[in-house]
Amino acid sequence: MLLAVTELQIVPSGETKLAHLKLLHQDLGRLRSTSKWDGFLCYLYGLVLRKMDLPHSLQVLQDSVNLNPLNWAAWLELANLVKNSEMVRVCRLPVVFNMSITSLYSIFAAQSTEIT
């Protein structure tokens, strides 16, 4: 394991980070079909997929917000993957609290795509 020392901090190399992501990917993949699977594990799995540039991260993050609509971090990660307002319209987003969260998210995602 190659490590770099910077100002008393040990920073893992890119290879080490990838190895840890691969382990998380395997562990979360095994949990996915069990009763322990929930919105937070789904969110973590979506993060791992996104960090590894693997497909289906958009789908997994949509699943996460559907399992736990109050996890704003999952909504924000989903916004990182949405490229335009059309993608927001076709995403499977939960209907919660008279759609207030989904509406807020749509506004946030639309503003994010206008800036970039």
Query: Which pLDDT value is given to residue 45?
Result: 97
User: How many residues can be counted in the chain?
Assistant: 116
pLDDT tens for each residue of 39-90: 999 999 999 999 999 989 999 999 999 999 889 899 899 988 988 878 878 8
pLDDT at residue 92, rounded to an integer: 83
CA atoms of 89 and 50, how far apart (whole Å): 21
CB-based contact 84:110 (threshold 8 Å): no
The three-class DSSP label of residue 8 is coil
pLDDT of res. 109: 76
CATH entry 1.20.140.10 includes domain 17-115: no
Token pair recorded at residue 83 = 């490229």
**77 three-state secondary structure:** helix
pLDDT digits (tens, 9 = 90+) for 1-20: 445 545 556 666 778 889 99
- What is the domain partition of the chain in residue ranges? 17-115
